[in-house]
Amino acid sequence: MIARLTIAVLWLAIGSALGGGVEEAKKLVRESKDGVSVAKKVLDLVKGDLTEKGVDQVIGWVIENGGAKERKRVGEILSSVPGNDQLMLKYVRVLGFFGEEEQLKSVIGKMEEGGLLQEARFRLASLMAEDAERNLTLTDAERAARNQEAVGLLEELGKEEGLKELLGKWIEDLLYKVTHLVVGCEAPEIEGVDHEGKKFRLSEYRGKVVLLPFWGYW
């Protein structure tokens, strides 16, 4: 029994080194009940031949189901996967979703100019803005600095040529939010009519305490 197990382990190692690890990796994925626990094994199976058919599907699964350590390992090998644009796009979006800022910065430093790099930098700006808004450990000065980092990156991106229309809209919306709708920023102009029917503008109350109740029917 021990001899058979030893042979099986050796065969698995040899298969990984020579290619053919994708099918074994897919089998692990199908049988897995906890993605994090098998993600390392899955990567080990396919890293020997990153040109093997189906390797992009396996690595995509690791990106979505592995932990931070496995995603970091993916960053080290992803550039060696042929035709990896869609895989890289998934990678930067997942890094943004999980808030893995340092790994996202590392990937950005290795990327070539183009649409993928632009989206990766947008995801980084989003993380910075989210951190400035939600991180309760930051001082007011640190919060303002983080927010300004995001603003600078977004303004730089917004001036670049070749931006996809949707990404340009995302940049525009986030830039408006971080410059108008966070604590410490100047509120956007609001115009309306008071209870007496008199028109007013929010800027007319500059320097005064203003309470704005918002309500509606949904």
Q: Cα(79)–Cα(18) distance, rounded to whole angstroms?
A: 20
Which one is predicted more confidently, 43 or 3? 43
Residues 101 and 157 in one domain: no
71 and 137 share one domain: no
Q: Quick one: pLDDT at residue 32?
A: 79
Residues 79 and 126 in one domain: no
Main-chain phi, psi angles of 199, to 5 degrees = -75, 145
Question: Do 154 and 178 touch, CB atoms closer than 8 A?
Answer: yes
Confidence of residue 205 (pLDDT cuts 50, 70, 90): confident
Domain end point (choices 69, 89, 111):
111
Decide if 216 is inside a domain.
no
Q: pTM of the entire structure? A: 0.76
Mean per-residue pLDDT, 149-174: 95
- Domain stops at, among 111, 129, 151: 111
Residue 73 lies in a domain: yes
For residues 64 and 100, state if they share a domain. yes
Q: Are residues 4 and 105 in the same domain?
A: yes
Q: Which of 83, 111, 139 is the last residue of a domain?
A: 111
Does 188 fall in a domain? no
Average pLDDT of the residues of the chain: 85
Question: Is residue 205, in this structure, part of any structural domain at all?
Answer: no
Residues 19-35 have pLDDT tens digits of 468 898 888 888 877 77
Claim to verify: residue 100 and residue 140 sit in the same structural domain: no
Range of the domain at 151: 114-182
Average pLDDT on 69-78 reads 92
Q: Say whether pLDDT at 39 is over 60.
A: yes
Residues 107, 124 share a domain: no
64 with 91, same domain: the answer is: yes
pLDDT band at 186, cuts 50/70/90?
Answer: confident
**Is 209 part of a structural domain of the chain?**
no
Q: Which H or E run includes 50?
A: none
Q: What's the burial of 49, exposed, middle or buried (CB within 10 Å: 0-12/13-18/19+)?
A: middle
Nearest residue to 108 via CA among 92, 97, 96: 92
pLDDT digits (tens, 9 = 90+) for 86-138: 999 999 999 999 999 999 999 999 999 999 999 999 999 999 999 998 999 99
Same domain, 119 and 55: no
Report the number of distinct structural domains present in the chain. 2
Q: What is the pLDDT, as a whole number, of residue 108? A: 94
Do 107 and 13 fall within a single domain? yes
- Does residue 218 fall inside a structural domain? no
Residue 199 lies in a domain: no
* Selection from 4-13, 156-165, 198-207 with the highest mean pLDDT: 156-165
DSSP 195: T
- Is there a single domain that holds both residue 103 and residue 125? no
Same domain, 122 and 101: no
